[in-house]
Amino acid sequence: MSVPQVALARPPRQSGRVRHVGAWLGAGWLVVVVLLSLTVQWWSSWGVNQQDITDVLKGPSAAHWLGTDDLGRDVLTRLFASGATTIGTALLAVAVAFAIGVPVALIAAEREGWSEKGLSRVAEILLSLPSTVVLLAVVGVFGTRLAIVMTVLGVLLSAAVYRVMLGSARSAHRELYVDAARVDGLTVWRVNLRHIVPTLLPTIAVQASLLFAVSLLIESGLAFLGFGPSPPAPSWGAMIALASTNIYGDPWLMVPTGLVLALTVMSANAIGDGLGRRARQGAQALPAASEAVARSTAASSDARDEGLARDGEDSILWASDLVVSVEGGPDLVTGVSLALPPGRVLGLVGESGCGKTMTALALLGLCPPGVRVTSGSVGVAGQAMDSLSEKGRRQVLGRVISYVSQEPTVALDPMFSVGYQLTQPIRRMRGVSRSEARVIAADLLARVGIVDPRLVLKRYPHQLSGGMAQRVAIALALSGSPQILVADEPTTALDVTVQAELLSLFRSLVADTALAIMLVTHDLGVVADVCDDVAVMYAGQVVERGTVREVLDRPRHPYTQALLSADPHVANADGPPTRLPTIAGQVPPPEAWTPHCRFAPRCEHARAACAVPVALVRQGDVLVRCVRSAELDEARHPVGAHVNDGGARGDH
């Protein structure tokens, strides 16, 4: 027999009220058993091992409510006398299983890669071991010392716990509020304790109750086979074994001994069922995990932007020749160089799948599992991020650079109030008392436009509207007084009015605090409204970069021109709404990227001359990745054509 794998199986159809009552009855039965067991010497007139050989194997009577065994001992007294030991040793196995399984699962979920693979292989080995044989071997070495035997059982069960917890922990790691906590600079273990473990608690409760039932049966099974407490000490398994030897002559003895074990196992299962229902209800109440973080956008190829590292000298955030790749797979972002000076807003714009979000996550050091920065460098406030230790990186995250995600309700931990979620990072990053942190939190909420901060501090994320939740998320991002804010589509999920209010908020934050903002968006209208600079991304590359005025007034790259033509805010800005042109085709997947111009299959200006690797080169005041940009610009602006480097001179 191998260690049983306990999982959250779908329960039989049963009303919630019945399960609720069953769980309470089960818990009540366990409490009664333990209390009666611990007080047996006070309520029973019989000694646990007191014999009366004139009154053996008798049924229920006034003197012996549950009868007597083969030595005339009172069955009721012996059953309850052994209850605490039986339940206690079963709990010991469960405690050991979770003490090992949960931390190891957290480590594996955090590190992944070879650590996770190695730990999972060890778990598989433990799961494949025949637990009964192992336990009998332990009994052979250590004797019937239940504490040791059940500890070993706990070690075996920890593999099953690990498997279940690993899946739950991985899911929790994909939550945006976990990323937000990392950006706040929390250590790995604080993130786990504060955000991952609470999400595991319902699963832990359910699994613990079910594993308790399993341990109880295994412990009783060992006692049944004679490997339990040494006689004359009572145990449920030994009493069932005695009843089974007298099953034909005196079948009554099997009734109380079997019933007490069956009731206890059923109680554990009822508790597990009740807790499972609560866990499922909780899971349904929680917002679905955002796919934004795990989204693997565009992919691969070669051409590296060149000569832009010098932009980093006066920039508070810069990326130089950044390459982000799937481990063992294609590149998702290639050769991206960006620069964000203090007090400016840089828009990162493009269609879905162009690598905008992946670039932003790479700047924050928050690449999804299986994705990593394979080349290039990122600098924040004069420090190269790859040169920082883990502790140094935590000092930067939250205090220097912070993050606002697309989905505010999933960026906030649903288990904690707004007040708790705001005051914790404020206390940690600003070193203030709880009361001071609450005042600062209220000020932050007021600053982001919340009318009644004290009321909102008491609320939970699910009690907030989308706009209010996004304001709270922005306040959370500002809790460490960062100099840089990376905002990933922060207004996409909001209605137009709230969107306008938040864009106004961003403008005022930049004006009042010299905050530098990197705004990831697909909306050129948002770029035109709030950004100073813009980088247009296509298929993992920056294809055009410059000031908003230059790029939007005089787009050089055919993709930028197509985006502008298809944008309702920009195209219809000066007149009545008209039918908008669309960009034919779609962004190619990373596997289809070539060393040549990646926009060529969709570009109406593509020629044979485009079938060459295309670098990002300076043209006027912008950088463009198009071999025909000068020629096309000349045709579009024949009179006003100014400095034109012909797309042949790189910005080296």
Q: Are the C-beta atoms of 289 and 174 separated by less than 8 Å?
A: yes
- 474/501 Cα distance (integer angstroms): 13
Of residues 479 through 498, those in contact with ligand SF4 by CB under 6 A are none
* Burial category of 5 from C-beta neighbours within 10 Å (exposed 0-12, middle 13-18, buried 19 and up): exposed
For ligand SF4, the closer CB: 205 or 610: 610
Question: Residue 600 interacts with ligand SF4 (CB under 6 A)?
Answer: yes
CA 231 to chain CA centroid, nearest Å: 51
- Identify whether 581 is preceded by a cis peptide bond (ω within 30 of 0): no
597, 615, 617, 623: residue in contact with ligand SF4 (rule CB under 6 A): 597
- Under the binding rule (CB under 6 A), the answer on residue 615 touching ligand SF4 is no
Residue from 79, 123, 360, 603 touching ligand SF4 (CB under 6 A): that is 603
Distances in Å between the Cα of 107 and the Cα atoms of 100, 115, 195, 203, 559 are 11, 8, 14, 18, 44
- Name the one range near ligand SF4 by CB under 6 A: 494-502, 518-526, 621-629, 636-644: 621-629
* Spatial separation of the C-alpha atoms in residues 144 and 222, rounded to whole Å: 9
Q: How far is the CB of 303 from ligand SF4 (least distance, A)?
A: 11
Cβ 543 to ligand SF4 shortest distance, Å: 7
Q: Of the candidates 228, 529, 615, 568, which has an alpha carbon nearest to the alpha carbon of residue 239?
A: 228
Our finding on whether 558 is near ligand SF4 (CB under 6 A) is: yes
Instruction: Tell me the longest C-alpha to C-alpha distance in the chain.
Output: 122
Q: Determine, following the binding rule CB under 6 A, whether residue 556 of this chain makes contact with ligand SF4.
A: no
Cβ atoms of 258 and 7 within 8 Å: the answer is: no
Contacting range for ligand SF4; rule: CB under 6 A; set: 96-104, 154-162, 452-460, 622-630: 622-630
For position 539 contacting ligand SF4 by CB under 6 A, the verdict is no
Q: With left for phi above 0 and alpha for psi between -120 and 50, is residue 69 left, alpha or beta?
A: beta
Residue 164 interacts with ligand SF4 (CB under 6 A): yes or no: no
Q: Distance between CA 82 and CA 80 in Å, rounded?
A: 5
Least Å distance, CB 324 to ligand SF4, is 23
* Angle, alpha carbons 65-67-73 (nearest 5°): 110
Three-state secondary-structure class, residue 314: helix
Asked if residue 592 binds ligand SF4 (CB under 6 A), the reply is no
Q: Choose one: 82-90, 527-535, 603-611, 635-643; the region binding ligand SF4 (CB under 6 A).
A: 603-611
Q: Does 138 bind ligand SF4 (CB under 6 A)?
A: no
Instruction: Say if residues 419 and 442 touch (Cβ distance below 8 Å).
Output: no
Query: Given the complex with ligand SF4, which of 36 and 622 has the nearer CB atom?
Result: 622
Instruction: Give me the least distance between CB of 635 and ligand SF4, in Å please.
Output: 12
Q: Which residues inside 356-415 make contact with ligand SF4, applying CB under 6 A?
A: none
Instruction: Locate the DSSP E strands across 541-615.
Output: 541-547
Determine, following the binding rule CB under 6 A, whether residue 626 of this chain makes contact with ligand SF4: yes
Q: What token pair was written down for 46?
A: 């019989």
The 499-538 contact track toward ligand SF4, x by CB under 6 A, reads ----------------------------------------
Judged by CB under 6 A, does residue 303 bind ligand SF4? no
d(C-alpha 79, C-alpha 88), whole Å: 14
Residue 507 CB burial class (10 angstroms; 0-12, 13-18, ≥19)? middle
* 599: contact with ligand SF4 by CB under 6 A: yes
Instruction: Return d(Cα 540, Cα 335) in angstroms, integer.
Output: 8
**CA 103/CA 357 separation, integer angstroms:** 31
Contact between 628 and ligand SF4 by CB under 6 A: the answer reads yes
Cβ proximity to ligand SF4: between 399 and 554 the closer is 554
Task: Tell me whether residue 64 or residue 625 sits nearer to ligand SF4 (CB atom).
Answer: 625
Beta bridge partners of 403: 486
Binding piece for ligand SF4, criterion CB under 6 A, among 31-39, 60-68, 409-417, 606-614: 606-614
Task: Give the number of other CB atoms < 10 A from CB of residue 41.
Answer: 10
Report d(CA 336, CA 303) in Å as an integer: 10
Q: How far is the CB of 340 from ligand SF4 (least distance, A)?
A: 26
Say if CB 414 and CB 287 are below 8 A apart: yes
Quote the tokens at residue 397.
């995250």
- Distance linking the first and last C-alpha atoms of the chain: 69
DSSP state of 316: S
Q: Can residue 565 be called a binding residue for ligand SF4 (CB under 6 A)?
A: no
Q: Considering the complex, what minimum distance in angstroms separates the CB of residue 550 from ligand SF4?
A: 18
Q: Which stretch binds ligand SF4 (CB under 6 A): 274-282, 335-343, 345-353, 599-607?
A: 599-607
* 27 or 610: CB nearest ligand SF4: 610
- Examine residue 606 and tell whether it contacts ligand SF4 (CB under 6 A): yes
Q: Near ligand SF4 by CB under 6 A, which window of 8-16, 400-408, 439-447, 592-600?
A: 592-600
Q: How far apart are CA 300 and CA 414, in angstroms?
A: 37
Q: In the complex with ligand SF4, which residue's Cβ is closer, 148 or 303?
A: 303
| C-alpha–C-alpha distance, residues 424 and 437, integer Å | 8
Instruction: Choose between 33 and 535: whose C-beta lies nearer to ligand SF4.
Output: 535
Rounded to a whole number of angstroms, the minimum distance from the CB of residue 302 to ligand SF4 is 15
Give the interface size with ligand SF4 as a residue count (CB under 6 A): 12
* Closest C-alpha to 626, from 533, 535, 544, 524: 544
610 is an interface residue for ligand SF4 by CB under 6 A: yes
- Which range binds ligand SF4 by CB under 6 A, 54-62, 283-291, 397-405, 593-601? 593-601
The residues, any chain, with a CB within 8 Å of residue 243's CB and separated by 6 or more, are 253, 254, 257, 258
Length of the chain: 652
Give the range of 119-127, 187-195, 462-470, 597-605 binding ligand SF4 by CB under 6 A: 597-605
Q: How near is the Cβ of 534 to ligand SF4 at its closest, in Å? A: 17
605 touching ligand SF4, by CB under 6 A = yes
User: Which one of residues 614, 617, 622, 623 is an interface residue with ligand SF4 (CB under 6 A)?
Assistant: 614
Q: Which stretch binds ligand SF4 (CB under 6 A): 296-304, 340-348, 600-608, 637-645?
A: 600-608
- The footprint of ligand SF4 (CB under 6 A) covers 558, 597, 599-600, 603, 605-606, 610, 614, 626-628
